[in-house]
Structure 1
Amino acid sequence: MSEIKRVLIVGGTHGNELIGVYTNRRFEQNPDLIRRPHLEVLTLFGNPQAIAANTRYIDEDLNRCFAAPIAEPSTHLNYEMQRVAAIRNEFGPSGRTPVDFIIDQHGTTSNAGLMLILDQLDAFTLNLAAYLSTLQPEIKVYSSTNSGRKQDSLRSIAPYRIGIEVGPVAHGTLHAELFQNNQALIYAILDYLEQYNCDNGTVHQSALTLYQYVGKVDYPKDETGAVLAMIHPHLQFKDYQPLNPGDPMLLTFDGETIAYQGDSTVYPVFINEAAYYEKGIAMCLTQKQHIHLDAPLP
């Protein structure tokens, strides 16, 4: 694998996830914070109009749009599709300033803590995630490889990428500790990439715990689309904790418990994420895996 020459740090892919927005503002005001001798590091505000309006998006979710084959911005397109074309034409593989690696910052109302999102499980990305986990053992690593996010997210335009998800934090607000933790993760990623370039790929870790996406659960709804149940109190804020067959999962407004009916233990994440109500997702289900990284980097 060749050097990682150009890195793009994205904030505001969702306009009301302010930790990434204000992190990028700080980096633009203090570029020495992200300057590394063997990397070109750029920043991007993904959805400027949504940031100005303090809302997730204007017309549709920008982070679900990049599978569309949009080549050029056009007034006939909605705002997010215009952003897709502009971002792809600037930073995509055939763009004016193609990037090798994207760091995409997000915030969630779920109890994510510090979460890394991996859209691909190549040796380079796995070793990076394992390295970051050794620095901050509380980090959880979530693999979205089976969820389709590899194709439609903003970060999908780069050959290598990682998402940072921090929470719980209410949309449209800041959280000082998570803000600091988010920055520390970005510095560690840049340092790792810098070391990788200097050492020609000798950075290597031994093991990694991974939460692999296997499916999602929606809230039960009536014929009008109104939800009929809530996350059960025993499950609320229990991201990454085991959910066994028969365990309480949802609670109706009449107080009836709806149990998890799966065949095996799963580990829910993004439990009760506010932005996922419109997507029909009460939680994502994962399998917990322990991966041994005994192969050298490519």
Structure 2
Amino acid sequence: MTTQLHADGRLRHFLTTEGLPRQLLLQILDTAESFAGVIDKSVKKVPLLRGRTVINLFFEASTRTRITFELAAKRLSADVLNVNVATTSVKGESLLDMLRNLEAMQADMFVVRHAESGAADYVARHVGPGVSVLNAGDGRHAHPTQAMLDAFTIRRHKGDFEPLIIAIVGDVMHSRVARSQIHALSALGTGEIRVIAPRTLLPRDIESLGVRVFHDMRLGLQEADVVMMLRLQRERMQGALLPSEPEYFRIYGLTEDKLAAAKPDAIVMHPGPINRGVEIDSRVAEGPRSVILEQVTNGIAVRMAVMSMTLGVYQEMPREPA
């Protein structure tokens, strides 16, 4: 695995939340908090990445992730190029040759999304010393900025992580989001992390990550402070791992009735896209405890934070007077 840190502990790349120290994750959250105020202003730009070039290199389709990375870079005043490899002619060119050509165009950062686990790490191992790589999702492996925007959203609503019970529900087996969430939440000192899923959608080694496993959804949601639903990723499944979608919804879909087992002030999250009537009922997704759209908004500030930190240009943004 490519080291993500410089010798002095600063971020060089952001490929995974696994193994990162708590203090660094808190620095990302604090930096994102300072950028959140910028997003609310009429002029939403700061000049920190002026003259820098960010290339979004997406080998896998995306909407929210690509757009929020693009917005984050533009709000930092960077020049942004979007390369959708699925629709771009590469004429038999290897990934390494493509990278070298893009780097020759004076790229400063690659944001990489790929269907294969380890792709972002491969890119990071082959870029020059002045180029940073951010993982926008690789196979089943990791989605670190999603995990950090989730943590940012939780902290804004709940404060310290130590007292919290956080339940992650659904297709953990195929979810890069779940893996990154578990590593980040553990490092941040979360009191209890639960995973709730059928046995066929849980990795065999999941308990080694320090989580509590539940197969009964109502039992797993008891007294939870945060309910994090996962997308059912049929495109990554091989074989019959599930009953019908209506049956899955009956057992593991989040409804107002099941949510009643959680704390009255529990928040509901989902990384999107939502499969309504499969993972979550529309009344819950649009209800008063849902923070799903806040997650999307918060993704801009978090990605601004990671971009500025990896390129080493972050400076303390002035906070609004209390």
Q: Same fold (TM over 0.5)?
A: no
| Structure in which a larger fraction of residues adopt strand | 1
Classify the TM-score, shorter chain.
under 0.3
TM-score by length of 1: 0.26
Structure number with the higher helix fraction is: 2
Q: TM-score, length-normalised on structure 2? A: 0.25
